[in-house]
């Protein structure tokens, strides 16, 4: 029997890649605004309106669902969003939840995102549903935010000093999630997987890998927290998010992210993608227009 999978955060980086990793699956997407979901419909995905901020709006989207892909927005209401989704899932008789958490989620994490996600992880574990939690490391795709600067000037600026990160391609996160969702529900029940790439890299090493692919000089320019804050606020990034990113940056600069795991290989039976492959696949994004 086909299992219906409900996707939250359906238009985000990981969920978009997850859709690619689940061809032929019975997918339903929860969206705030149906008028902006034409791309999902064109891919044959059922779209249902609902808002994780409003528990009363959720029951229609959860009706008949077997598996919930639970991704909540980063923000102060993240635990409430998670709570609302789990409430709706229990009411609807959903069988399994696969939740996207964050690296290092814990009650004593050095960043507010990690502490908030720890609350939701614990609630998920005690929800009465079969559950699996994925805690991915820093996304390689975050570097696409620097692509414009790299294309224009050959440089990019980060406020993490000489931090080394076990960064991961979001496609590997999605394919790991797909593996869990396609396996029998009991196989991964009660498991928490910390997902990383194959090696820890500094941003100087990232620049070297980009140079190899682009065939021109690329430089990493470390900047202060204040400089990065000014840039992000100038782009209209909300202050709460800027504060959160600064907390992560300080933790990473202190060595908090310098590790890898074998979780992706264990789930997929192959090594995770290396940054060199990511750079090749996205080379056009880092190249100045003609």
Q: Do domains 4-139+167-195 and 141-164+198-258+273-286 have the same CATH topology?
A: no
- Enter the DSSP assignment of 168: B
- The dihedrals phi and psi of 216, each to the nearest 5 degrees, come to -150, 170
Cα distance between residue 21 and residue 180, in whole Å: 11
What's the maximum distance between 2 C-alpha atoms anywhere in the chain?
A: 56
Q: 């979780």: which residue's tokens?
A: 263
Q: Which residues pair with 132 in a beta bridge?
A: 98, 191
**Ranges of each domain in the chain:** 4-139+167-195, 141-164+198-258+273-286
> Is the alpha carbon torsion for 83, 88, 92, 94 positive or negative?
negative
Could you name the CATH architecture of 141-164+198-258+273-286? Alpha-Beta Complex (3.90)
For the chain, the helix, strand and coil percentages under 3-state DSSP, each to the nearest 5: 45, 15, 35
Closest by alpha carbon to 274, among 224, 226, 206, 228?
206
**4-139+167-195: which CATH topology?**
Rossmann fold (3.40.50)
User: What tens digit of pLDDT does each residue of 175-224 get?
Assistant: 999 999 999 999 999 999 999 999 999 999 999 999 999 999 999 999 99
Q: What is the tens place of the pLDDT at every residue in 74-126? A: 999 999 999 999 999 999 999 999 999 999 999 999 999 999 999 999 999 99
| pLDDT tens track for 2-39 | 899 999 999 899 999 999 999 999 999 999 988 889 99
- pTM equals 0.96
């Amino acid at each position: 029997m086909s299992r219906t999978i409900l996707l939250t955060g359906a238009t985000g980086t990981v969920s978009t890649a997850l859709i690619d990793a689940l061809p032929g699956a019975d997918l339903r997407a929860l969206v705030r605004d149906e008028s902006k979901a034409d791309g999902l419909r064109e891919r044959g995905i059922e779209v249902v309106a609902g808002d994780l901020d409003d528990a009363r709006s959720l029951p229609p989207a959860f009706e008949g669902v077997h598996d919930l892909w639970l991704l909540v927005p980063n923000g102060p209401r993240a635990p409430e969003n998670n709570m609302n989704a789990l409430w709706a899932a229990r009411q609807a008789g959903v069988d399994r939840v696969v939740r996207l958490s964050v690296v290092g989620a814990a009650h004593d994490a050095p960043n507010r995102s990690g502490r908030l996600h720890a609350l939701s992880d614990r609630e998920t574990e005690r929800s009465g549903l079969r559950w699996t939690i994925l805690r991915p490391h820093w996304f390689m795709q975050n570097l696409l935010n620097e692509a414009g600067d790299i294309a224009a000037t050959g440089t990019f600026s980060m406020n993490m000093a000489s931090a080394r990160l076990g960064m991961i391609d979001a496609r590997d996160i999605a394919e790991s999630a797909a593996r869990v969702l396609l396996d029998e529900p009991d196989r991964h029940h009660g498991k928490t997987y910390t997902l990383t790439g194959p090696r820890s890299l500094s941003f100087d090493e990232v620049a070297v890998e980009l140079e190899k692919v682009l065939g021109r000089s690329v430089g990493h320019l470390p900047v202060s927290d204040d400089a990065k804050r000014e840039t992000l606020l100038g782009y209209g990034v909300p202050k709460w998010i800027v504060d959160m990113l600064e907390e992560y940056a300080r933790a990473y600069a202190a060595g908090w992210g310098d590790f890898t795991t074998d979780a992706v290989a264990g789930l997929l039976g192959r090594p995770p993608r290396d940054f060199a492959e990511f750079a090749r696949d996205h080379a056009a994004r880092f190249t100045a227009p003609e």
